[in-house]
Structure 1
Amino acid sequence: MGQARLPSLLEVMSVLVVFLAIVFSFTIYELPIQLALFISLFVVIGLGLMVGYTYDDLQAAMIKGISNGLEAVLILLAVGALVGTWIAGGVVPTLIYFGLEFINPSIFLLATLVICSVTALATGTSWGTVGTAGIAMMGIGEGLGMPLPMVAGAILSGAYFGDKLSPLSDSTVLTASMSKVNVIQHVKSMLYLDVPAFIITGILFTIAGFMYGGGEADLDKVNSIMGSLTDVFNINGLMLLPAVVVIGLLVMKKPSIPTISFGALLGIVWAIGFQGMGLADAISTAYSGFNITTDIDFINDLLAGGGISGMLGSIVVIIFGLGFGGLLEKIGVLQVIMDAFIHKIQSAGSLTSSTLLVGFFSNVFGCAMYVSLILTPKIMERSYDSLGYRRDTLSRNTEVGGTMTSSMVPWSDNGIYMAATLGISTFSYLPFMWMSFVSIIIALIYGYTGKFMWKNQDTRETV
């Protein structure tokens, strides 16, 4: 067989239209998105065969794409185990109890934004933040009568803000590495965008908090929830020790997977030692999750979840999505799209908007944030170099287009994880991802005004 060629733009667009049609039809009819991605794999394989690749080449590309994201799969398994055992061990119920007792409804959304920001900044993981502090804030928000999609928006806004400014974050390190800049220089560049975006987002959530929580909370409901928690669980400050230990270890730059897994082990110990569970039942919560029956449906729904088994559907999506992204990279699909209009990129504005679009569509078609963070710098670096812009502007725009939009795509790894963990559909929380929307707007303003778009000859400090 001769050498493989790049597909034509018409071939690429035809395949992507078929992919979107499959995904949206499965979404409309509420069919498993996993099957849509599985079918779409063969659509892209068909294109690869058509342009001259062998099946073995394409299979190797799929396996490579999957292997690049296996760390995310292992983290997801560990977080599932941690959530299940932390509910059983009383960690999550205690966080909810104290939150209901001390957090004023008017400032709850702002407090959620700040708490999740600090947690993610300290730990370097948006997933870990959502799986711990995020779940607790959802419970508190429900108890205070706050709109849960808005609470989820505050959680995600804080989690991604902290994650993007943390040198401990694997996605931050990956973006800097792919853009060929030092990670600290990348974080410095992000400060110019993320800090004003965070301030604006904080103001928006403060206003929303006074609008939705300005009245008196339903104290009867709050007291009923707190009473049910104390009836079922041993609630005291000692229950928070596993959370303190895990966050402390992550701050000390210990590896995420063993740290989160150790946190799950502590949850088992706490379930046996403080909540009176049997050994076998406590251990099983790491895999099967926790279930509870009380007179309050909210408590039953909130505290029935977690476990590795609860994450298996998300893992299937991530595996198929990573394989899909590996195929797209191998065949050169996004490269063909960029080549079609890359000659039109002649200014900082068009450069910025193009980077954001590539990052977003890499999430849409690559189904994984890692795919976006790998492909976007590869595709856009020539344009930045030819126009003389520094690579830290590339890395900053890659984060905005790739990371900040990753949870907006229901079939992406981040979209699946966040929806499954928070119990809110992607389209429900999407309108409230204010940090992401504000970041996109500020990035475009910088691009079209030339503000903080540093040229290679610009030797001034960026902070």
Structure 2
Amino acid sequence: MKQEPSYIEALLPILTLVGLLTMNVFFFEDTLAGSNQVALLLAATIAGIIVRRNGQAWARTMENVVSTIGSAMPAMLILLLIGSLAGTWLLSGIVPALIYYGLDIINPRVFLITAVVVSAIVSLATGSSWSTIATIGVALLGIGKAIGINEAIVAGAIISGAYFGDKISPLSDTTNLAPAMAGTDLFTHIRYMLYTTTPSFIITLLIFLVIGLSYNFSEAVVDVANVKSAIDGAFNTSPWLFLVPLILFVIIIKKVPPIPSLMIGTLLGGVCAVLFQPHMVSEIAGNVPNYAEASYIGFMQAMFGDIIIVTPDADVNELLHTSGMAGMLDTIWLILSAMVFGGIMESGGLLTRLTQPIINWADSTGSLVASTVVTCIFFNTTASDQYISIVVPGRMFRKSYQDKRLKPEVLSRTLEDSGTMTSVLIPWNTCGATQSRVLGVGTFDYLPYAFFNLISPLMSILFAYLNLKIRRYELDEIPVEERIN
């Protein structure tokens, strides 16, 4: 006979996971490359033993695991397409053009706001806050220091912009992961996030404007000039390339589903590569004499594999590199492992038992959102990984949001506002440790100035308590496929 788990039994797999993930931070440089996935599977093993010991049949557990993995399949397909889109947009010169023309808006008199905006543009185009900070961010930091601004303030501006772009970019892995955990689609998630993200970003810009006006600026654009020169020497940059992201933006606004939208964006990127960058396509294809053959090879390589553009500037080279679909496999592996862990925890009633005290306290929408935010920050602090801070709370709170008739985008927005945004504020989190090392600025030094990251979780809580833009199901509106038994 199946028996209910005790609170200690429900907590044991979580403690095991936290312990393993913490050790991974110390022993592995890239925890996403496999160690965190194994940690999830080992924690799932502990959960499976507890569930089996409590009398649940193994077949029932596996059935729930398979069902849980199935729910994440659309997100994994989208991630593969995002990898291919990033590849063709790089090869075509679309991403380099966005960076090239984005750098033109730099004006020393409003440097801090410019740092936020440029970082946001690059991160939005690439879907990666990490590569943005490691390349353009480093150049911006050097400029800021040269004109006399405290490097911690400049770092806060760069991080604020980079994480804003990462947060709303359809190319970002966390932006895809959050709706997958909550049970909504990518573009619904992005559109709904704008309600809290927009005021947070505006407040951030205003704060940096006030800070920036107290400084005297001087011209110091050598690093930016080098970046632009490197891009201009490698690509045929043209404003016509902006048509592709514009078309994709229109497609998104028209609510075309994510998978066909991203495929259209990928194909348009491939067409632009053939038309605008024939020298680059030929080089990627190994300089085969037949351009039709080179076009096919270059397009396929951009979709599935590594594209590395070499320029005289080593920092720019770091930005001009994608891995296509193959580059998304570690994230997909993480999702699969997390779904195994979450499926076992859920099927055995461990998540329900673990979250019951929190749920009992969270008797309103505001307190439920606040509990989610605190839980995400807890996992960012203890598990030291932003993916875990989205995956585990997403599985823990999904049913609670449904029970209160809250639509899944409310949960996905809360996960992103808190899990993604606070990861870079924890020194021992993979994000905090990486950005601190790349910028050469201590995490606790830039933390007070990472205004967007600090404001975002508070804005999510404020909207919930004020009942602003909170989407609810009608009593008979919850789709059958969204009901969790």
Distance in 1, matches of 2:230 and 2:299, equals 20
User: Which residue is 2:309 aligned to?
Assistant: 292
The answer on 1:131 being equivalent to 2:127 is yes
Residue 345 (structure 2) pairs with residue 336 (structure 1): no
Normalising by structure 1, we get a TM-score of 0.72
Letter in 1 for 2:140: L
Which of 390, 403, 406 aligns to 2:419? It is: 406
Pairing 1:441–2:458 present: yes
Q: Deviations over 1:125-148 (max 9, x none)?
A: xx9765289977986544434767
Residue from 233, 244, 247 that aligns with 1:245 = 247
Structure 1 137/244 Cα, relative in aligned 2: closer, same or farther at 3 Å? farther
Give the CA deviation at 1:317.
Answer: 0.7
- Residue in structure 2 matched with residue 12 of structure 1 by the alignment: 10
- Which stretch shifts more, 77-86 or 401-410? 401-410
Select 2:69's aligned residue among 66, 69, 77: 66
For the 8 Å contact 1:69–1:370, the answer to whether it is kept is no
Q: Distance in 2 between matches of 1:395 and 1:342?
A: 17
Greater Cα offset, 243-252 or 370-379: 370-379
Q: Alpha-carbon deviation of 1:6?
A: 2.3
> Which structure 2 residues correspond to residues 78-93 of structure 1 after superposition, within 5 A?
78-93=81-96
What is the alpha-carbon distance in structure 2 between the residues aligned to residue 253 and residue 424 of structure 1? 38
Distance in 2 between residues matched to 1:162 and 1:80, nearest whole Å: 13
Asked if 2 retains the 8 angstrom alpha-carbon contact of 1:80 and 1:310, the reply is yes
CA distance in 1, matches of 2:94, 2:302: 14
Matching residue of 1:29: 27
Instruction: State how far apart, in whole Å, the 2-side matches of 1:133 and 1:248 are.
Output: 24
Q: Deviations over 1:314-371 (max 9, x none)?
A: 1111111122222222122232123346555578875554354456679979948476
Query: Which structure 2 residues correspond to residues 296-445 of structure 1 after superposition, within 5 A?
Result: 296-340=313-357, 342-344=359-361, 353-357=370-374, 367=388, 369=390, 372-373=393-394, 375-379=396-400, 398-399=411-412, 401-407=414-420, 408=422, 431=447, 434-442=451-459
CA distance in 1, matches of 2:89, 2:408: 36
Paired residues of 2:358 and 2:371 also in contact (CA < 8 A): no
Structure 2: gaps of 5 or more residues: 143-153, 171-175, 283-293, 471-485
| Structure 2 match to 1:153 | 160
Mapping for residues 40-51 of structure 1, pairs under 5 Å: 40-51=43-54
- Assess, with a 3 A threshold, how the Cα gap between structure 1 residues 110 and 135 changes in structure 2: closer, same or farther: same
Counterpart in the other structure of 1:53:
56
Indicate if the aligned counterparts of 1:78 and 1:261 stay in contact, CA closer than 8 A: yes
Q: Kindly tell me: are residues 325 and 84 of structure 1, through their superposed partners in 2, closer, same or farther at Cα, counting changes over 3 Å? A: same
Cα distance, 1:156 vs structure 2: 2.6
Asked whether 1:111 is paired with 2:125, we answer no
- Are 2:151 and 1:144 equivalent residues in the alignment? no
Q: Distance in 2 between matches of 1:446 and 1:324?
A: 31
Specify the alignment match of 1:270 in structure 2: 272
Alpha-carbon RMSD: 4.6
Q: CA deviation at 1:398?
A: 3.7
How many angstroms apart in 2 are the aligned matches of 1:232 and 1:129? 18
State the number of aligned residues: 414
Correspondence for 1:233: 235
Q: What is the CA-CA distance between 1:27 and the residue it aligns to?
A: 1.8
